[in-house]
Amino acid sequence: MKRTIYFKNHPKIIATSTVAGPKESNGSINKYFEVKLNDDMFGEDTFEKAETKMLYTVIKNSIKNAKYDEDNIDCIIAGDLLNQIISSTFSARKFKCGYLGVYNACATFSESLIVGASMVDGGYMNNVICCSSSHFSSAERQYRYPLELGNTRPPQSQWTITGAGASLISSNGVGPMITAGTIGRVVDYGITDANNMGAAMAPAACDTLFAHFKETGLTPDYYDLIITGDLGTLGSRILKDLIWEKGYDIEKQHVDCGELVYNICEQEYQGGSGAGCSALVFNSYVYNKLNKGLYKKVLLVATGALLSTVSTQQGESIPAIAHAVVVEGNI
Amino acid sequence: MKRTIYFKNHPKIIATSTVAGPKESNGSINKYFEVKLNDDMFGEDTFEKAETKMLYTVIKNSIKNAKYDEDNIDCIIAGDLLNQIISSTFSARKFKCGYLGVYNACATFSESLIVGASMVDGGYMNNVICCSSSHFSSAERQYRYPLELGNTRPPQSQWTITGAGASLISSNGVGPMITAGTIGRVVDYGITDANNMGAAMAPAACDTLFAHFKETGLTPDYYDLIITGDLGTLGSRILKDLIWEKGYDIEKQHVDCGELVYNICEQEYQGGSGAGCSALVFNSYVYNKLNKGLYKKVLLVATGALLSTVSTQQGESIPAIAHAVVVEGNI
C-alpha cells in the first residue's frame, strides 16, 4: 500500500480563476479574488443556480486567463456539496469537453487536482480544469436547517463559504507545478456533532500529513506553507496538537484557508468551510504568491467531512478525509 | 480536445466481486452472481446500511478473490447514488487504503474504471478497487416517493437494481485488460420526465459511442459486445436509432445491462437501472465470458442521468453522461 504519488512530468497550473460571495469579498484576502459578487444570487432565481453560475464562471475564466479557447480543454474534473453534485454537472453541461464528477466533500478540490494531475502527467490529457464550489445558502438549507428558521449557531460551527475556484492544469505552458500528492483515507474518530466539522476533520488531516511525511521522508520545514482546507480555528488547533504528538511541528508553516478568508468576527465563529473554501483561497491568494515566488513549496491539504443528512439521522458518526497536493513554484 | 485515452501498459482486472439483491438473484443471469441475497436488508436496520454492507462486501471479496490482502490495495475508487455517496464513504471507512469518491450517477462504475486504469497504467498505483452500488429502496425513497405510498409506475420507468460490483485493477497478474476509454461529456436533450431515464441517457450514449468510433477509427464490428449500462428497452431502441443515423449500426453487438438482468415482467417495465446495474452485470456475466474467451473485445458504455430532486423541482431538464471503457480478454 502506498498513498503518495509523484508527478515526474510536472504538470503545471497555467491559470486559475475565482468567484467570491459578498461576505468573502469583504474578507481579509479579498484583493486576490477575480470576481467579487455584491449579490449572492448572482442574478439567478435560486441559490443552487447561483452556485452553478459561479462554477461555470470560474471554468470559463480559467480558460480565458490561459488565453486558451474551449477546444483546448480535454476534461473538467469537478465536484461540490449539493446532492448529486448538480452545480458541477450543470456547469459542465455548457462545455463540449469531457466531464468527471468527483466528491470528497470539502476535500473535493484537492481530490480533483490529484486526478487531474495524474491525467496530465500520465499523458492521457493535455489540459484539464479542476474546480469546486460551495454556497452558504444552498449548503445550509440542504445540510442543516431552512435559512428562514434563523437558528442560533453554536460556537464551534463554521460558515460555509460562497465561492468557487478553478485550476487549469496543463502539460505545457508556465506556472506552478504539481509534483506529488498523498491520497487520503477515511478516518472516523466518532465525532457526531454535525456543527463541529473541525474536530471531525482534524484527525484525517493528521493522518494524511503523517503519511506524507513518512512516505516522502520530508519534514514540515521543506514547505513554505502547509495550508489546510477548512479546519477553522478549533480544528487547526486540534491538528497541530495531533501531528505534534506524532513528532512533527507544523506551527510555523500552517495556515488554514477557512481561518484566512474572513476577518473572523462573531458570526463565522471558527472560520470558513465548504468545498469552495480551499478552491477559492488556493486559486487566488496562494496561486498569486506562488507565481510571484513568495512561496516556493506549498502543501495543500483540503479536508472533507463525509456525512449526509441521512447518515446523521441514522446515528452514524462523521467520517472525514484529507488529500494533500504538493505545488512548487517555477520562480 | 480529445476524449479517448489509451492504456498502453494494459492494466488488468485480476478479480471481481458482486452482490445481488433478491429480485436480481431470480433474474436471467443469476448464476453468475457471487453473493445472492434473500433479504434486501442484508441483516441491517436501514436500506442505506444494507447498501453500504453490499459495497463493503464486494470490496472485501474482490481482495479475497485475487488472493491478496488488504495491504496490497492502494486505493478504493467508488461512488453510488445516495446523497454525498455515503455507501461508498462508509464502506471505505473500514479499509486502510486511500479513497477517491467519484460520481456520475449510473455511469459511476465506468468512470471509476477510467480513473482507476489511469492510476495503474500511469504507474501511480499498483492495485486499485473500482466499484459502485445501488439499492432499489434507498434510491426510490431518495429520488422519487416514499415506498409506503405504493405509487403506480409509468410504463417508461425502470427498476433500480439492488446490487454492487467491484473490479480489482492491477499492474500485475492475469485477467482481462483495460486498453482504452472514452470520457463522456454532459449531454442534455431537454427531457424533463424523471421516470424516463432511458430517453434522457440514450443521446449521451450515442455521443460517447460516436466520439469513440471517430477518435479510434474503429467500427462496431471490432467488438464482440457493446454493452450499455442501464438504458433499458426503450432507451436501447433510441440509442440504436440515434447511432444508426450517425452511420454506425450496433444492432448485432448491443446488449443493455438493465435489459439483461431481469426476466423482464410487468413490474420492471423497461428493465434495471442504477449505479449498481453495470457494476453487477459487468463484474459477473461479462467478466466470466471475458475470462473464458467467449468475448474477446468488450465496450462497456455505462450511462448516467445527472439529475437531483432539487434540479427537477427547480424545473431543470435531465443532463446525462456516458463513459466508454474498452476491455479485452487475455485468451
* Contact between chains at B46 and A314 (C-beta distance less than 8 A): yes
In this prediction, residue B194 carries a pLDDT of 82
Residues 6+ apart with CB under 8 A from A192: A312, A315, A316, A317, A318
Q: What is the mean pLDDT of residues B112-119?
A: 98
DSSP letter, residue A327? E
Among A159-173, B149-163, B256-270, name the most confident range.
A159-173
Asked if A279 and A163 touch (Cβ cutoff 8 Å), the reply is yes
* Contact between chains at A186 and B93 (C-beta distance less than 8 A): yes
Q: Is residue B20 predicted with pLDDT exceeding 70?
A: yes
Residue A227 forms beta bridges with which residues?
A: A255, A300
Asked if B180 and B295 touch (Cβ cutoff 8 Å), the reply is no
**Dist. CA A83–CA A138, nearest whole Å:** 10
SS3 A299: strand
Among A182-196, B70-84, B138-152, name the most confident range.
B70-84
**Dist. CA A219–CA A197, nearest whole Å:** 27
Q: Is residue B134 predicted with pLDDT exceeding 90?
A: yes
| Interface mutation target, options B100, B170, B307, B326, chain A, most CBs of A under 10 Å | B100
A-chain residues within 8 Å CB-CB of B190? none
Q: Is residue B265 predicted with pLDDT exceeding 70?
A: no
DSSP letter, residue A125? -
CA A79 from centre of chain: 10
In this prediction, residue B195 carries a pLDDT of 84
Residues 6+ apart with CB under 8 A from B147: B137, B140, B141
Q: Nearest-CA neighbor of A51 among A134, A147, A167?
A: A134
Residue B165 forms beta bridges with which residues?
A: B18, B132
pTM to 2 decimal places: 0.98
- CA distances for A190 relative to A25, A93, A233, B288, angstroms: 35, 38, 20, 41
DSSP B289-309: HHHTTS-SEEEEEEEEE---H
* Contact between chains at A111 and B100 (C-beta distance less than 8 A): yes
pLDDT digits 0-9 by tens, B215-256: 999 999 999 999 999 999 999 999 999 999 999 999 999 999
Buried b (16+ CB within 10 A) or exposed e, A273-299: bbbbbbbbbbbbbbbebbbeeebbbbb
Q: Is residue B264 predicted with pLDDT exceeding 80?
A: no
DSSP A140-170: HHHHS--GGG-PPPPTT--EE--EEEEEEEE
Q: Nearest-CA neighbor of B258 among B240, B239, B235, B242?
A: B235
The pLDDT > 90 percentage for chain B reads 89
SS3 A293: coil
Q: Is residue B89 predicted with pLDDT exceeding 90?
A: yes
The dihedral built from the CA positions of residue A216, A220, A223 and A227, taken in this order, carries a sign that is positive
In this prediction, residue B196 carries a pLDDT of 87
CA angle B18, B80, B275 (to 5 degrees): 60
In this prediction, residue A277 carries a pLDDT of 97
* Contact between chains at A1 and B125 (C-beta distance less than 8 A): no
Residues of chain A scoring pLDDT < 70:
264-267, 331
SS3 A184: coil
ipTM above 0.95, yes or no: yes
Which of B70, B93, B319 is opposite residue A188, by nearest beta carbon?
A: B93
C-alpha cell at B170: 492491477
Nearest Cα residue in chain B from A68: B1
Nearest Cα residue in chain B from A324: B98
pLDDT digits 0-9 by tens, B5-17: 999 999 999 999 9
pLDDT digits 0-9 by tens, B276-303: 999 999 999 999 999 999 999 999 999 9
In this prediction, residue A266 carries a pLDDT of 60
Question: Rounded mean pLDDT of chain B?
Answer: 95
**Dist. CA B190–CA B313, nearest whole Å:** 15
A vs B, Cβ pairs < 8 A, gives: 184
Nearest Cα residue in chain B from A98: B185
Helix count and strand count (H, E) for chain A:
11, 14
Q: Is residue B107 predicted with pLDDT exceeding 70?
A: yes
pLDDT digits 0-9 by tens, B35-69: 999 999 999 999 999 999 999 999 999 999 999 99
C-alpha cell at B64: 479475497
| Interface mutation target, options A59, A214, A311, chain B, most CBs of B under 10 Å | A311
* Contact between chains at B111 and A100 (C-beta distance less than 8 A): yes
Nearest Cα residue in chain A from B93: A186
C-alpha cell at B44: 441491517
